[in-house]
Chain A
Amino acid sequence: MTQAATGEKKTQTLNMGPQHPATHGVLRLELELDGEVITECKPHIGYLHTGIEKTAESKTYHQGIVLYDRMDYLAPMSNNMAYIGAVEKLCDIEVPEYAQVVRVILLELTRLKSHLVWLGTHAMDIGAMSVFLYVFQEREKILDIYEACSGQRMMSSYLMEGGLWKDVPEDFVPRVEQSLKDVRACLKECHTLLYNNPIWRRRTEGIGIIPKDDVLKHGLSGPIARASGLNWDIRKSNPYMGYETYDFEVPVREEGDIFARYDLRLVEMDQSLLIIRQALDRMPNAKGEYRGHHPIYIPPDRDRLNKSMESLIRHFKFYTSGYPTPRGSVYFAVEAPKGELGFFISSDGSEKPHRLKVRGPSFTNVSYLRVISPGHLVSDVVAIIGSIDIVLGEIDR
């Protein structure tokens, strides 16, 4: 008998997570079910809360760099870029052109890497196991490039004030070129596996539709927003690192369902490949200093330490007490793979941030689950979470 007929509560509560493979970390959804249809969804977060913003207040600006790799561990370079961009904006540091070009390459590689993991896990959530294996192969090659640059696979901390930690390795260009080829081939393969797959289409088409109005109202950003018809990409609207000089398109879809988000991300990866190609072509001409010079905000070159007393003092001051910053507050956002990732820094003039706020895309995007889930089946929620592409490390911080 239906609920309406008897008048009594026939729903049941289901706790999905926090330890659930489809929640991509430790997210708990309190689902109110009528049969298998969700009537109410309450997301609970905070299981990974590590107090990064509090820690930031006790670290100097330079020491802070390593903290933020760990938030969105699938896209560490974007985190680096957002933070370093905010510091550079606060202190008005200039970045040499060569460093900007390398940064763009790394940022787009990060986007590829993050989207590859998204594709693999999303497909696996819905039941297509083999995609996962292919994309992780390619991801590993991109991680190898990271390792060659920074010495670390994931927590790279490679972008520093005014440029890069050090120059890229000699075989950087051929390696990136190789990975461009590999990723392109892999994408083609995955596309064949999924695009015309009837199960995939049935599980994604017309499900989890986000209306365009809700995108603005609920503060959604990134591929989700664009899949619902909002033509907004921070690389275009507020360009950084010379993105305005690259020739690329921002894909937009109107449907707003899971399939649109899938399709859009694949096009976005294609565009990333194009941007990397353009940046690689610029590298030989742009070749120059990988890190700028500044008496306060950038430490002197390592090889000067043996020759100049002043450099030694600056080096020592930089790494021990940090650098004082202008008073004021700035907000700098980048188009991370998952959406608008920004850092708000409020400086009281000292060497440490007075307040540092991380505006993570996943935090706002996952809050939309409570609106979108009702009316869907439990198995659809798994697909919706996958299509939103969340990382709990950045939600909880």
Chain B
Amino acid sequence: MVDTENTDSGSVSEEVKAALPEEVEFLTDKFGAGKVSSHRLWRGELSIGIDKSILRDAVQALRDEFSPSYNYISYVTADHWIEWDPPVMDIIYQFRALPGSGKELRLVVRVPDEGTIEVDSIAEMHPGSDWHEREVYDLFGVIFKGHPDLRRILTPETYPEHPLRRDFPGQGKELMEFHDRLIAQWNVSDDERDYDGKFGDPWVNRVQQQYVGDVSLRRLASSLGYEGEVQEPGDVGYQSYEKETLHPDDEKKEGENS
């Protein structure tokens, strides 16, 4: 199922080369082949990888000089390839040629993911990209040079993280810290946190499986003054069994014996 024509890695098949899309030809003629790194025509969609230095000019040229004019921006977004070596950030711009032609074009600017990532802002040419660039800045930490008002948009202005980066955990970081603090408070090691009814801590084991329930139960436990050992089984209902019967095997054995 993997498509072999993937130009993400830079290879362009002969068939595609034979019929170069006119957008690619236009950009190559104007800026030189070195600045247009790759293109891919897949599922009827054209995406062109361009160098970051020509971004603003390319967008302008596609709008003002190219026919049909790519005069409408649908969105700006980013794609963080942290799995690659070296990791990269793709900044993606989707254009439309309106009205009528139904043509769409995606420009991809690939920037190495090291230090501060900076690209030119196109918000003055296409004010429609203003908020989209703010969103990419907010969620990915990409700086758009020349943006009129680059502030966070979806998260609070004091928020320190860029949550859509791939190295940001899906659980969120604040909750993890809270989690770890409680674990430390209860003197439970990381090994014991895994599901292991026999040796682990019944509180931790049972609630570990449910992420949201985990936190609320822990809160409940700490509010009940729970200190790490079950003194009185059956106090909240989740623990209405003896510690020994936690292990599935043990439960089975008991059933066989009786």
B73 within 8 A of A: yes
Please measure, in the bound complex, the distance between the C-alpha atom of A367 and the C-alpha atom of B75, giving whole angstroms: 13
Give every chain B residue within 8 A of A355 (Cβ-Cβ).
77-80
Q: How far is the CB of B4 from chain A (nearest CB, A)?
A: 9
Partner of A326, one of B1, B75, B83, B164: B1
Please measure, in the bound complex, the distance between the C-alpha atom of A119 and the C-alpha atom of B163, giving whole angstroms: 37
Considering only residues 195-226 of chain B, those with a C-beta below 8 Å from chain A are none
Please measure, in the bound complex, the distance between the C-alpha atom of A344 and the C-alpha atom of B78, giving whole angstroms: 10
> Are A232 and B45 in touch, CB under 8 angstroms?
no
> Are A237 and B101 in touch, CB under 8 angstroms?
yes
> Are A328 and B42 in touch, CB under 8 angstroms?
yes
A71-96 interface bits toward B, Cβ cutoff 8 Å, 1 = contact, 0 = none: 00000000000000000011010000
A296 to B, closest residue via Cβ = B1
A396 within 8 A of B: yes
Give every chain B residue within 8 A of A185 (Cβ-Cβ).
none
Partner-binding segment picked from A49-57, A195-203, A305-313: A49-57
> Are A46 and B155 in touch, CB under 8 angstroms?
yes
Please measure, in the bound complex, the distance between the C-alpha atom of A216 and the C-alpha atom of B1, giving whole angstroms: 38
> Are B83 and A237 in touch, CB under 8 angstroms?
no
Given contacts A326-B1, A340-B74, A367-B130, contact A237 B43 (CB under 8 A): no
Partner of B71, one of A45, A216, A325, A329: A216
Given contacts A218-B128, A328-B40, A328-B43, contact A57 B100 (CB under 8 A): no
> Are B3 and A327 in touch, CB under 8 angstroms?
yes
A342 within 8 A of B: yes
B127 within 8 A of A: yes
B38 within 8 A of A: no
Give every chain B residue within 8 A of A220 (Cβ-Cβ).
128
> Are A45 and B153 in touch, CB under 8 angstroms?
yes
A354 within 8 A of B: yes
Partner of A344, one of B8, B75, B153: B75
Give every chain A residue within 8 A of B175 (Cβ-Cβ).
none
How many A residues face the partner with a CB closer than 8 A? 48
B48 within 8 A of A: no
> Are B102 and A238 in touch, CB under 8 angstroms?
yes
Q: How far is the CB of A327 from chain B (nearest CB, A)?
A: 5
Which of B3, B72, B102, B163 has the most CB atoms of chain A within a 10 A radius of its CB? B72
Give every chain B residue within 8 A of A359 (Cβ-Cβ).
74-75, 94
Range class of the B interface residue count: 35 or more
Please measure, in the bound complex, the distance between the C-alpha atom of A57 and the C-alpha atom of B77, giving whole angstroms: 15
A388 within 8 A of B: no
Q: How far is the CB of B146 from chain A (nearest CB, A)?
A: 17
Give every chain B residue within 8 A of A49 (Cβ-Cβ).
154-155
> Are A331 and B45 in touch, CB under 8 angstroms?
yes
A217 within 8 A of B: yes
Q: How far is the CB of B163 from chain A (nearest CB, A)?
A: 6
B34 within 8 A of A: no
B92 within 8 A of A: yes
Give every chain A residue within 8 A of B121 (Cβ-Cβ).
none
> Are A217 and B170 in touch, CB under 8 angstroms?
no
Q: How far is the CB of A328 from chain B (nearest CB, A)?
A: 5
Considering only residues 161-218 of chain B, those with a C-beta below 8 Å from chain A are 163-164, 166, 168, 170
B93-113 interface bits toward A, Cβ cutoff 8 Å, 1 = contact, 0 = none: 010001111101010000000
Please measure, in the bound complex, the distance between the C-alpha atom of A333 and the C-alpha atom of B139, giving whole angstroms: 22
Q: How far is the CB of B246 from chain A (nearest CB, A)?
A: 26
Given contacts A57-B170, A325-B1, A367-B131, contact A219 B80 (CB under 8 A): no
B2 within 8 A of A: yes
Please measure, in the bound complex, the distance between the C-alpha atom of A57 and the C-alpha atom of B139, giving whole angstroms: 14
Q: How far is the CB of B97 from chain A (nearest CB, A)?
A: 10
Give every chain B residue within 8 A of A237 (Cβ-Cβ).
98-102
Q: How far is the CB of B75 from chain A (nearest CB, A)?
A: 4
Please measure, in the bound complex, the distance between the C-alpha atom of A328 and the C-alpha atom of B43, giving whole angstroms: 9
Please measure, in the bound complex, the distance between the C-alpha atom of A239 and the C-alpha atom of B118, giving whole angstroms: 37
> Are A217 and B127 in touch, CB under 8 angstroms?
yes
Given contacts A346-B79, A363-B131, contact A324 B1 (CB under 8 A): yes
A57 to B, closest residue via Cβ = B170
Given contacts A296-B1, A326-B3, A328-B3, contact A232 B99 (CB under 8 A): yes
Please measure, in the bound complex, the distance between the C-alpha atom of A58 and the C-alpha atom of B106, giving whole angstroms: 25
Please measure, in the bound complex, the distance between the C-alpha atom of A92 and the C-alpha atom of B94, giving whole angstroms: 21
B126 within 8 A of A: yes
A330 within 8 A of B: yes
A231 within 8 A of B: yes
B138 to A, closest residue via Cβ = A46
A358 to B, closest residue via Cβ = B75
A334-373 interface bits toward B, Cβ cutoff 8 Å, 1 = contact, 0 = none: 0000001010101011000011010100011001000100
> Are B1 and A217 in touch, CB under 8 angstroms?
no
Give every chain A residue within 8 A of B78 (Cβ-Cβ).
355
B97 to A, closest residue via Cβ = A237
A276 within 8 A of B: no
Given contacts A329-B79, A331-B106, A342-B75, 16 further A-B contacts (CB under 8 A): A45-B153, A219-B127, A232-B98, A237-B99, A238-B104, A327-B8, A328-B3, A328-B42, A330-B43, A331-B74, A331-B94, A349-B1, A359-B74, A363-B131, A364-B75, A371-B127
5 pairs from A and B in contact (CB 8 Å cutoff): A58-B170, A232-B99, A329-B106, A344-B94, A363-B132
Q: 10 closest pairs, A vs B, by CB?
A: A219-B128, A237-B102, A46-B154, A357-B77, A359-B75, A367-B131, A232-B99, A355-B79, A49-B154, A218-B128
